[in-house]
A and B are shown apart, each in its own frame.
Chain A
Amino acid sequence: MTATLEWQLATVTAIRDETPRVKTFTLSLPAELPHLAGQHYDLRLTAADGYQAQRSYSIASDPTLAGQIELTIERLADGEVSAFMHDVVVPGDRVEVRGPIGGYLVWNADGGGPILLIAGGSGIVPLMAMARHRASTGSHVQATLLYSSRSREDIIYFDELQRLHSGDALGVFHTLTRSQPPGWTGYSRRIDGAMLEEVLAKSDPAAAIFICGPTPLVEGAAEGLVGVGLAPGRIRTERFGSTGS
């Protein structure tokens, strides 16, 4: 199989605010291995006494970007690693990473076929890598995104998604579950069967479906799609967090 995934020392070259709780970290890698849109890296922090903490973060950037990756990280209230990344790390700092990891929730523009992406919150990150990859390779495969956020200010990559919509024919449907700004024209509720049917009607009937987000959203969307007759094997998922029940 593959060679050992070695830890390497990456340098943080840029930090960008995405939303009040989400930042994107650009990492310059000494040895970048080729990766697919949808894969992740493990990130490891080491304290002076040797204590270590690790977490996995999805790659946000287009795989064709050479020598660097972007990780978009949500600051969790009790997040040992995410809070450190948000509150302490500045450009020029170094962190250990290894990857790429994961070979199931992945899509390649070359031969990948049409896609329907369904995201909740920071679950957009690996799916954004797919949308960016599609745009940068000039792929014309049909692609649609349904993206659930709590409020307008919580939408990650909002402006870029608008550009991908107008410039690269990415179908983009937003839903805001908690609050909506005046004049909001998107959906205003949790993803449900009616919403899925409307989005499906505007997607390629053969699209591969990728769902990533909090467990209740992924469970609901996946079951909704199976409920309207989609083959479970067409649906690939990545969940985070507990069932919340």
Chain B
Amino acid sequence: METVLFYFLAAITVVSALLVITRANPISSALMLVVCFLATAGIFAMLGAMFIAVIQVLLYAGAIMVLFIFVIMLIQTDAGDLKRRAITFGKILGAVAAVYLAIILGIAAWRPPFIEAPQAGEAFLLPATMGSQLLTTYILPFEILSVLLLIAIVGAVVLAKKKI
């Protein structure tokens, strides 16, 4: 059951990711990216991270993708003036180098032990553990993160504004 579910979600993720980078129109790329993020949320849930899966759907498939589609629709006049794609030597070289990276990483990761996931305790699975960790051990990164988000909000407004 778990095996079937894993291969199902992994296939959806990989196929939609391939479609993201091959579609000419950015709108269809964005919609494929939503599919990819939803399937990834399923993978996260399989790994026992329910809270992360929910956040993935809300934040990525919801908020960030809406932002993306807004921007695409703001700056794209019509689908007719999409530039033709050209295959150059540099692109082929880049793609081959990336596949080489995949092979190297795969060989590096493929070592024993090949074991099933250990039985997870209640503390690992509950989001409450993450919440209490966030406000005790990780309180400093948490606060820095809130400052970072504030800077990002102000920065995005300043960048996108016409005249300051």
A and B bound? Answer: no
